[in-house]
Amino acid sequence: MITVEKNQSMYTESVQNYVSQVFETVKNRNPNESEFHQAVKEVFDSLIPVLVKNPQYISQAILERIVEPERVISFRVPWVDNQGNVRVNRGFRVQYSSAIGPYKGGLRFHPSVNASIIKFLGFEQIFKNSLTGQPIGGGKGGADFDPKGKSDGEIMRFCQSFMIELSKYIGPDTDVPAGDIGVGSKEIGFLFGQYKKMRGSLAGVLTGKGLGYGGSLARKEATGYGTVYFVEEMLKDNNLSFEGSTVVVSGSGNVSIYAIEKAMKLGAKVVACSDSNGYIYDKNGLNLEAVKRIKEVEKKRISTYVTDHPEAIYSENCNGIWTVPCDIALPCATQNEIDQKSAELLVSNGVKAIGEGANMPSTLEAVETFLENNILFAPSKAANAGGVSVSALEMAQNSARLYWTFEEVDSKLHAIMKSIYQNSKKAAQEYNAPGNLVVGANIAGFIKVADAMIEQGVI
Ligand code: NDP
């Protein structure tokens, strides 16, 4: 018996060494890509027990293959600004994995976009899309273009130039991009218009489209609502709920606004939200209609909220939002917005649950802090999968040439989020990490893709 256990622990150690070696190769092959390294490390750390139990994943070099994108496309995006100056940005599309379906993932337009950011997002997307239970592979794209402060004409010319190149690589059955930071319905409309002009009317080539030309009801709400549905399941399992809870939501973009809306519908008091300049705190609970008007209609800064709400406080420094005491924190802005210090503050202020609406908003150290303190933690690749799930439902509606009602889409979304929660929970239990949804989501997402890769041979 003792020998068996000793052999088992020696084998586990050799698997750990193997995973460390693969990770070192990833770092050496992709230098200066810290966000990408971070995303890979989190997944690899979760997979050790899976590899111990399933040696075929090692012999078939699944880790070595899955970290290498099937294709990375980087391209020049020239356009002319309103003053007649020629401007040049860099565009990307990372087609990461088509093991279980066409590449699917958003486009991000933000000055911080680079290969590391797009690769981390694309890598995460593989497992997220697998978790949805729908037949979609992983991809991501974008450009280091800043739509902020640009006129509609400038944004249109940029999107047209971007699509002239991107159109060579995408299609309804190969790669279907959507929105992300800086790419909302306006940008999707311009991108779609250019694609249609070049390739004919193929409604299924982008998701997040306007409702009048192939978009799906509830896509706009999907990521925010989905995050709250996921957290609701996690809370329920622990005899907690949104009802009567104090909630803080970072950001004030697409994901944040609809996370706030659903949390409020479930009886929470949402007291703070932010943008990249600062945050507002309204102890009586935010006025969501005012937030929507400021961000969706007037496109102003969140600081203007206090003009009509003198009882609210605006503070510069967006990360200060994590000093606000709350029961539930929903980071919905951007990657690495919660570092260890912010995580410690949240814990010492009594937070009970974290639900990641943004992609990888907590650093590895912050996640460690939450888990060590037994804070309920809903990781992004599971909790924010509602957006891509409804994108896949948009593709299904486009193919069938029909539209579902808001209620139909919303109830499918709700069912998908519940099932992602249950599958992540089950995988965590099966692999001796009960309650650890980081491990559970990584494992549940990975196994399906790894098995599909093996069945399809070395390609
Ligand atoms: P938006 O562009 O609509 O909104 C982003 C919001 O975050 C803006 O309010 C922005 O403020 C704010 N922000 C940016 N950086 C910071 C910061 N450091 N601190 C505080 N606020 C900040 O993007 P989305 O809502 O679409 O995306 C948000 C996150 O959700 C991203 O991580 C994205 O990848 C993820 N996500 C989005 C999905 C979707 O369906 N849209 C699907 C799954 C994940 P400002 O206006 O100042 O820039």
179 Cβ below 6 A of ligand 1? yes
What's the 248 CA to ligand 1 centre distance in angstroms?
15
Ligand 1 within 6 A of CB of 188 = no
Rg (CA), the chain: 22
| pLDDT grade for 32, boundaries at 50, 70 and 90 | very high
Q: Sort strands 137-143 and 103-109 into parallel, antiparallel or unpaired.
A: parallel
Q: What is the pTM of this model?
A: 0.97
**Ligand 1, from 334, 339, 380, 390: best to mutate by most atoms within 8 Å of Cβ?**
334
For atom 47 of ligand 1, the residue with the nearest CA is 276
Residue nearest to atom 34 of ligand 1 (CA): 359
For residue range 170-192, list pLDDT tens digits in order: 999 999 999 999 999 999 999 99
Residue 268: band (very low, low, confident or very high) from pLDDT cuts 50, 70, 90: very high
With a 6 Å cutoff on the Cβ, whether 129 touches ligand 1 is no
- The secondary structure of 154-209 as a DSSP string is HHHHHHHHHHHHHTTT-BTTTEEEE-BTTB-HHHHHHHHHHHHHHH---GGG-SS-
Residue showing tokens 């990375």: 72
User: How far, CA to CA in Å, does 327 sit from each of 121, 160, 393?
Assistant: 28, 44, 33
* Mean per-residue pLDDT, 93-109: 98
Give per-residue pLDDT as tens, 281-317.
999 999 999 999 999 999 999 999 999 999 999 999 9
Is the CB of residue 138 below 6 angstroms from any atom belonging to ligand 1?
no
Find the helix or strand (DSSP H, E) in which 403 lies. Answer: none
C-alpha of residue 220 to centroid of ligand 1, in Å:
13
Q: 250 CA to middle of ligand 1, Å?
A: 9
Per-residue confidence at 2, pLDDT binned at 50, 70, 90? low
- The first and second tokens of residue 142, run together, are 């974008």
pLDDT exceeds 60 at position 73:
yes
∠ at Cα 270 (264, 271), nearest 5°?
A: 160
What is the position in ligand 1's atom list of the atom closest to the CA of 334? 32
Residue 303 in contact with ligand 1 by CB distance below 6 A: no
Give me the pLDDT at residue 204, please. Answer: 83
Determine which residue's CA is closest to atom 4 belonging to ligand 1: 253
- Between the CA of 328 and the centroid of ligand 1 the distance, in Å, is 19
Work out the burial of residue 12: count CB atoms within 10 Å of its CB; fewer than 13 is exposed, 13-18 middle, 19 or more buried: middle
* Alpha-carbon torsion (51, 52, 55, 59), positive or negative: positive
pLDDT tens readout for residues 322-343: 999 999 999 999 999 999 999 9
Q: Whole-angstrom Cα distance, residue 222 to residue 410?
A: 8
Using the predicted structure, report yes or no on whether residue 4 has a pLDDT greater than 70.
no
Do the Cβ atoms of 204 and 323 come closer than 8 Å? no
Q: 354-384, pLDDT tens digit by residue?
A: 999 999 999 999 999 999 999 999 999 999 9
DSSP H helix total and E strand total for the chain: 17, 12
Closest CA to 283 of 250, 246, 249: 246
Reported in sequence order, the residue ranges of 144-250 that DSSP labels E, i.e. its strands, are 175-178, 246-249
Average pLDDT, the chain: 97
pLDDT of residue 256: 98
Active site residues: 140
Distance 358 CA to ligand 1 centre (A): 7
Report the DSSP beta bridge partners of residue 87: 79
Whether 1 has a pLDDT exceeding 60, the answer reads: no
Nearest CA to ligand 1 atom 23: 181
> Using a 6 Å cutoff on CB, does residue 125 contact ligand 1?
no
Helix axes 219-236, 406-430, angle to 10 degrees: 40
| Mean pLDDT (whole number) for 231-255 | 98
Query: From the CB of 333, is ligand 1 less than 6 Å away?
Result: yes
**Residues whose CB is less than 8 angstroms from the CB of residue 14 and which lie 6 or more positions away in sequence, other chains included:** none
